[in-house]
Amino acid sequence: MRHALVLAGGSGTRLWPYSTGSTPKQLVPLFDDRSLLDIAVERAAAVAPTVWLGTGAGLGHAVSDVEGLSQEHVILEPSGRDTLPALALAMSRIAATDPAAVVAVLTADHLIEPLGAFVATLERGFAVAEAHDEALVTFGVVPDHPATGFGYLELGEPLTGDALVVARFAEKPQLKRAEQLLEQGALWNSGMFVWQAATFLRAVRAFAPQTLELVEAGTDEDWEQIPKVSVDYGVMEPASTSADFTVAAIPLSARWLDVGSWPQYGDALGRGADGNAVSARTVLVDAHENVVASSDPDHLIALVGVEGLVVVHTERATLVVPVDQAQRVKELHQQVVEQQGDWA
């Protein structure tokens, strides 16, 4: 049977002050009073009849009212240990209910449009995973520029249809290397997958046996002993060079927007003729290429004669940062945690 798992465990600190420890970005109503998690669960339901959610134990109460999500399908991680332990836990749970499960692993921090094209791509991924017991299928985004903020999938020989064998994973590159990867036809690593749950668990047993042993032990104490490691580093990379597994990539035929920073949120909102992206009540005079947001629809933000700023207002905090330094909001958030505590 086909299943879909939405991973929603990230903190999203680059979207502070909207995103906080108690309400991370995937739970914030960023788009017409809908959160990224609302959108992700709806998207997952279009892919498979059974939808699961993996998230942190501290967010269990916050996801209880997400439409289309059954509480018996919510998998709570005792603490954040990165994506490999999260997926090992989730696949163990899913396989216990359905030993023949084939699972799409989807993210909760992206916008993907149009839905029909996405569903069609996932259908091809399911077909590959169902036909190849050794296959771990990932999805790659066709890049439109040499981005340095994404990992890349370097491609090898065709496997079947439009699925290509992944020759190697490339970490977030410097600009020159990103330009080379773009010329070579590499894809951005979307962090989404399809595999048989049993195949994935077999790969974890092969490449990260300690992680699987501690996950299967089932206690919070054992969980805290699990090394923090990503699924790419812990399983997908070694599997791509193993004779026992095949890592395959399918190009994602859809518009894919990573909403991981304020400039990316601006891109997702869309920009006007002046380059401004706005989700607030505003008066803008001679202002260009700004991102402006407010959680209070009655609060007015007025800008005059400025360019390239991120201005974000909430009830408890206001952020102002140049667009080209927006990645430093993560650094700022750490200072807020240390200096202001509950404001984070």
Dihedral sign for Cα 194, 196, 201, 204, please.
negative
Greatest Cα pair distance in the chain: 62
Beta bridge partners of 122: none
Residue 109, Cβ neighbours under 10 Å: how many? Answer: 21
Phi, psi of 102 (to 5 degrees): -115, 125
303-318 confidence digits (pLDDT tens) = 999 999 999 999 999 9
Residues 6+ apart with CB under 8 A from 220: 78
Average pLDDT over residues 273-297: 97
Q: How far is CA 52 from CA 37, 73, 97, 263, 337, in A?
A: 12, 5, 12, 30, 31
The ranges of the chain annotated as CATH 3.90.550.10 are: 2-258
Residues 6+ apart with CB under 8 A from 166: 138, 153, 154, 155, 156, 236, 240, 247, 248, 249
Cross-sheet strand order for the sheet of 291-294: 277-279, 291-294, 309-313, 318-322
What distance in Å separates the CA atoms of residue 81 and residue 18, rounded to the nearest whole number?
24
What distance in Å separates the CA atoms of residue 293 and residue 312, rounded to the nearest whole number?
5
For β-strands 281-285 and 300-304, DSSP reports them as parallel
* pLDDT at 12 (0 to 100): 75
* pLDDT at 109 (0 to 100): 86
Question: Which of the residue ranges 21-30, 76-85, 318-327 would you say has the lowest mean pLDDT?
Answer: 21-30
Give the CATH number of domain 2-258.
3.90.550.10
Average pLDDT over residues 52-80: 88
What distance in Å separates the CA atoms of residue 207 and residue 199, rounded to the nearest whole number?
12
157-181 confidence digits (pLDDT tens) = 999 999 999 999 999 999 999 999 9
DSSP states along 63-114: TTT-TT--GGGEEEESS---HHHHHHHHHHHHHHH-TT-EEEEEESSEEEE-
Q: Determine contact, residues 197/94, Cβ cutoff 8 Å.
A: yes
Beta bridge partners of 303: 284
* pLDDT at 68 (0 to 100): 83
| Cis peptide, bond prior to residue 49, ω within 30 of zero | no
* pLDDT at 82 (0 to 100): 94
What distance in Å separates the CA atoms of residue 37 and residue 59, rounded to the nearest whole number?
12
77-103 confidence digits (pLDDT tens) = 999 999 999 999 999 999 999 999 999
Q: What percent of the chain has pLDDT over 90?
A: 83
226-253 confidence digits (pLDDT tens) = 999 999 999 999 999 999 999 999 999 7
The residue ranking higher by pLDDT, 22 or 226, is: 226
Q: Determine contact, residues 321/309, Cβ cutoff 8 Å.
A: yes
Which tokens belong to 268?
């997702």
